[in-house]
Structure 1
Amino acid sequence: MAMIKNSFVLADGEQFSDEQNDVIHQAVAFANHNLTQSQTRAFVIEGGAGAGKSVVLFEIFKQLQATKPQWRNFLLVNHAEMWKSYRELASYQPDLKKNQFLKPTTFINQMTLHNQTADVVLIDEAHLLLTAPDRYNKFQQENQLVEILKHARVVILVFDAHQVLKLKSMWHREQLQTILAPFKPEAVQLSEQYRMVDQSQSVVEWIDQLTQHKKIIDVATSLSFDLRIYNDANQLYAAICQENQRVGMSRILSTTDYPYTVNRGKWYVTLDDFKLPWDQLDTGATPWALRPETIDEVGSVYTIQGFDLNYAGVIIGPGIRYDNQKDQLIIDPTHYEDKAAFRSVGGKNLSLEDKQSIMLNALNILLKRGRHGLFIAVADPALRQKLLASVPKQSRY
């Protein structure tokens, strides 16, 4: 769904699909019914990247606030850029207030301090909730979802196991089910892809095979979505700049295979003679994707997760390669520069498989940002040639 006024709402002329409307109606009815009951209940909305989870969740929140303004409701998200957007959006909605949009730790600490319980708590990107104490985020307990459930009468959350990015928020579907079991959860699925305007779904399937099964399949020509594989990252950047001038909301992104340290000067993404700085930490109210100057930066999974772009240019770094002899994808965590993602928590360590899953989850998020087009440049020559061979001739640049 398009972003309007720094937010996640339908663009002019767009309507919710039947599937989305069904989920919205089910969730609102669930909240209305269960607030009259004595037991805390949970409602889970599952769906992949681009399934419209955030726009559906926000519509649920709006409807609850419009019909039951006396309820004490909150929307939580453990993602700084998305939190900024939600708070900005509240300025344009008569039934919403900025203080209803909180980060999970803030909500937990406030409710614990005052021994309070909210009515309905909606959680966006629940797969980003912490599953271990985190001093940096001032979270002292063991699991954020467990703590939220202690302070809510109804919890409505969205979840995608393929968007887990760190050990300290390491979620598996079975773990979610175990935590929610005492709260008799109801679950629904958003199964369609709404972000990528790929009517045949061929590009979506191509991405899913790559990021979920480590397979590179041939992709059919899409008349509605512009997929390109570039030999030269500078040409990719020029094309993204051109699309940004033409339609706006087009940015360069990269896997986290290039060094950086937060708040310690500029760090660069380089590929052959291509060189642009990583996204810069900004504490202002405007998210990275919506700031005009960021066309000259490279975004990471942390600055772009949850956002729509019109065109996304993605650099796949050296951590993801291809072995011609074995005909298989190589996922190499030694090249992954997001050290915090793999950092041991409470004596827990990630397995090689978990590290590879995190890297593929991040790639999946990046590749599904563009509504109308995806342009790719690749560090590994063998992977570049394999991807070029998998796309139609008109997609090879």
Structure 2
Amino acid sequence: MTASSEEDFLPIIKQYNYNVDTKEEILKRDKHNDYITRYPTVYIVIDKLSGRKNVGKFKAYVGETNNIVRRTEQHLKSESSSREDWTALNSSKHAKLIVIAHREFNKSLTLDIENKLMQYLVSDDSIAELNNRRSNDQDLYYTHDRFKFIFEEIWKGLSEKREDIFPDIDDIKNSAIFKASPFHKLTDEQIDARDKIIEKVNKIENTQTDDNLIVVKGSAGTGKTVLLSSLFAELNTKSSNQEAYVIVNHDQQLKVYENIANKLGIKSKFGDDIANKPTMFLNRHPVTDNNKTKSADIVLVDEAHLLLTQGYMAYRRKNQLDDLKKVSKVVVAVLDPYQVLKSNGYMEKDYYDKIFNNAQKHGNLIELNQQNRMMANDDTINWIDNIIENRKISEIPEDDKYDLRVFDNIDDMYSAIKEHDGKNENLVRGLSRMVATYDWEFKNKPKPAIDEETGDSYWRVKIGDNFNLPWNNQIPVEKKFKELAWAEQPQTINEVGSTFTIQGFDLNYCGLIIGPSVKYRDGKIVFDKNYSYDKQATNKRTMDNGDKKDVSDELIRNELNVLMKRGVHGLYIYAVDDALRNELLKMSK
């Protein structure tokens, strides 16, 4: 018996022409033939897309099988006539079949590999169309502890063979689509939540009850967006007779869901965009005096705490969540009152208590408690929550997995963030950015006067003698990066982000500038609206009884909450207020 070499434990990756002669190609004998033909395998069928808009773009089908020869024949023969996604592939002269084998493959492992490939390819810039949307993530199995290593070796091998299709693994992981992908391996808490929601959706659709609101409650970073993205793909399968819209508020998030929908071929039967903003959706699905016939099956609302609760601009009614319930059979709303940022979306605590209590009464309340974004221990999470909820600064805890640091010099913090964003980063590469509370002037129009120091006319965040960066979305974007979210665009390392560009997104390292609207006085954090430039937070809210209420204290607190929970691996803090900075520095020693 010969000893196994390192090569024996590497993946076997073979590329074939995909056509009627593929069977003979696969069956040609070589030393790896048994692994290809007799073991479980994972496969990808790749084809170039035509048209000027699709230069360098591909469509892909991902699958797994116990018999690649028989499965290939099925695709070429029986499925060609019954499935549109295979008709074009089977008639193509350029399609390729990539087969992946491994001596450790078993059914559960190949299903996990298939699902992971879907997660990566939906985040891959070169893939414009992706088929086979089933979610196959597995629980524990014999070789589950080898999964991460085996997959990374597979991706490395694919990249070596076809760099034009399979980019560097870090480029994939740092994309906004990857972080919101519907093919993430869900936690037990998320799986339980997803199954309960799908069960509730089916029950509500069948009974046509007025209690048609399912609420997902969870703080920032508890995986609400990943759960919603998974539901979006699951509820929009081609075999389903229903469709699920996704409603988001931010342009950045809308881009992500539009990309996911386009790649997976998810379309609205109604003819409008399956991913939409609330006002645009309600204009297309207006509330009428008698909404017994619902125009939408299911509406998934990400960041429902940002929905309007009074008329604003093109929205002329009183409450967008109520209106979505009226035009939809089922509404699934992700809700966290601590992330409300605008006075026209503000409601009293009693309003949210009523929503949560009513959902709980009808068994429609789903709660997420596990922190999934921040790779931090409970003490670090509690330290942040203590600042937000109790306005107290306690001693910064030790955390081997999370880099929480307070800086005395803003320039040093910016240098550290740029270093993490560089390509030499060991832990993660890129996607580290500066963000700030909205305490420096910014307007869409008109532009400010020419800056004497820089020679440009950008609205800027200026601190001290040296730190002087534009606010987000001002530096010109190269055409090839325009469809990417703000944090993914390379030039934005030279800008400062805000909640308008970063809410709902992950950063690897977040450099947070706490501006002068957040102070430390008499042993407590206070919020001073006089130093905030966010009119949507500082304008008074007109309540139902006609009274005008100043809610800026809560909204600026919420802004800080959102910004403090962006970093996956680290949070760096610089406070402009001297007393606040000194207290943070004291508590970090």
1:304 is aligned with what amino acid? I
Q: Distance in 1 between matches of 2:229 and 2:213?
A: 17
**Does structure 1 residue 83 correspond to structure 2 residue 254?**
yes
TM superposition score normalised by structure 1? 0.90
Cα distance per residue 1:304-346 (max 9 Å; x no partner): 00000000000011111112xx222221111111012232455
Mean Cα displacement is larger for which, 261-270 or 220-229?
A: 261-270
Report the counterpart of residue 106 of structure 1 in structure 2: 280
Match of 1:61, SS state, is helix
CA contact (8 A) 2:402 2:570 kept: yes
Please tell me whether the aligned partners of residues 146 and 179 of structure 1 are also in contact (alpha carbons under 8 angstroms).
no
Letter in 2 for 1:214: R
1:332 aligns to what?
528
Gaps (5+ residues) in structure 1?
none
Structure index of larger Rg: 2
Q: Distance in 1 between matches of 2:514 and 2:176?
A: 30
What SS is found at the alignment partner of 1:99?
Answer: coil
Q: Distance in 2 between matches of 1:206 and 1:271?
A: 26
Hey, what's the Cα distance between the residues in 2 that align with 1:295 and 1:320?
Answer: 24
1:268/1:188 CA distance change after superposition, 3 Å? same
Quote the offset at 1:33 in angstroms.
Answer: 1.8
**d(CA) in 2 for partners of 1:11, 1:112:** 29
User: Contact (CA 8 Å) 1:255, 1:316: kept in 2 or not?
Assistant: yes
Rounded Cα–Cα distance in structure 2 between residues aligned with 1:338 and 1:348: 21
The change in CA–CA distance for 1:134 and 1:185 in structure 2 (over 3 A counts) is: farther
Cα pair distance change 1:8/1:237, threshold 3 Å: same
State the secondary structure of the residue aligned to 2:371: coil
Unmatched tracts of structure 2, length 5 or more:
1-118, 120-172, 448-457
**Using a 3 Å threshold, how does the CA distance of structure 1 residues 127 and 154 change in structure 2: closer, same or farther?**
same
- Of 411, 420, 430, the residue aligned with 1:234 is 411
Q: Which moved more, 1:80-89 or 1:305-314?
A: 80-89
Q: How far 1:109 sits from its partner (Å)?
A: 1.0
Is 2:473 the counterpart of 1:275?
A: no
Q: Is residue 2:445 matched to residue 1:263?
A: yes
Select the residue among 288, 300, 313 that pairs with 1:122: 300
Structure with more relative contact order (C-alpha pairs < 8 Å, separation 6 or more) = 1
Alpha-carbon contact 2:436-2:497 (below 8 Å) kept? yes
What is the rounded CA distance, in whole Å, between the counterparts of 1:299 and 1:62 in structure 2? 30
| Structure 1 CA distance for aligned equivalents of residues 537 and 217 of structure 2 | 23
Equivalent residue for 1:157? 333
Q: Distance in 1 between matches of 2:501 and 2:402?
A: 23
> Which shows bigger deviation, 374-383 or 107-116?
107-116
> Following the alignment from structure 2 to structure 1, what is the Cα–Cα distance between the partners of residues 250 and 241?
27
Is the partner of 1:91 in helix, strand or coil?
helix
> Does 2:538 match 1:342?
yes
Which of 487, 490, 496 is the matching residue for 1:292? Answer: 490
CA contact (8 A) 1:62 1:96 kept: no
**C-alpha contact 1:83 1:102 (8 A) present in aligned 2:** yes
List aligned pairs for 1:165-314, cutoff 5 A: 165-176=341-352, 178=354, 181=358, 184=362, 186-198=364-376, 200-245=377-422, 246=425, 247-265=429-447, 266-273=458-465, 274-280=467-473, 284-314=482-512
Structure 2: how far apart are the matches of 1:145 and 1:211? 26
Per-residue Cα deviation, 1:10-40 (whole angstroms, up to 9, x for no partner): 599x621111111011111111222111224
Q: Check 1:6–1:263 CA distance in 2 against 1; reply closer, same or farther (3 A cut).
A: farther
Taking a change above 3 Å as real, the CA distance of residues 133 and 201 of structure 1, as seen in their structure-2 partners, is same
- Contact 1:6/1:89 (CA < 8 Å) preserved in 2? yes
Q: How far off is 1:112 after superposition? A: 1.5
Task: Say whether 1:70 aligns with 2:263.
Answer: no
Cα shift readout 1:54-96 (whole Å, capped 9, x = no counterpart): 0001101211112753213211012221111111222322445
Q: 1:177 and 1:376 mapped to 2: Cα distance?
A: 33
| Residue 217 of structure 1, CA deviation | 0.8
Q: 2:218 corresponds to which letter in structure 1?
A: G
Aligned to 2:107: none
Distance 2:446 2:491 in 1: 20
| RMSD across aligned positions (CA) | 2.5
Q: 1:179 to 1:215 in 2, by over 3 A?
A: closer
